[in-house]
Amino acid sequence: MGLTEAMVETRRAVPAMMLDAWERATKGPDPIAALRATKALWQHLAQWQSVLVSEAVNATATWDEIGLALGTTRQAAWARFRKWVERASGGTRPMQEEISKAGGRADEVGARAPEKA
């Protein structure tokens, strides 16, 4: 099953705690209470993002694709999420595998090719 098929079959519900934080951030007159709620919302979103990255890796997405989706580099995405993915799925594809998928050409995945002596 490819990445697109995995995405079509998955239905995601917004967790209740995230909905609650959203309600607290957008309702009510107290701006300090709303700020506290945005902090909680931010934490919930970060955790949800980690779950989505794990789903993407399990659905064969590359770290390049994940980085692009997040507006960052594959290296930054891998550094931020690899431990979560390892815990959630029992492992992650190392960067060397990304290079191998590109036919052994490091320049195709954004890595610097070794310099010739």
pLDDT tens digits for 53-70? 999 998 999 999 999 999
Question: So where are the chain's domains?
Answer: 15-109
| Lowest-pLDDT range of 16-30, 51-65, 93-107 | 93-107
Compute, in degrees rounded to 10, the torsion defined by CA atoms 58, 87, 95, 80.
110
| pLDDT tens for each residue of 28-56 | 899 999 999 999 999 999 999 998 999 99
pLDDT in tens, 70-88: 999 999 999 999 998 888 7
The pLDDT, as a whole number, for residue 10 is: 64
Residues 114 and 99: their CA atoms lie apart, in Å, by: 13
**Helix, strand, or coil (residue 93):** coil
> Is the Cβ–Cβ distance between 36 and 60 less than 8 Å?
no
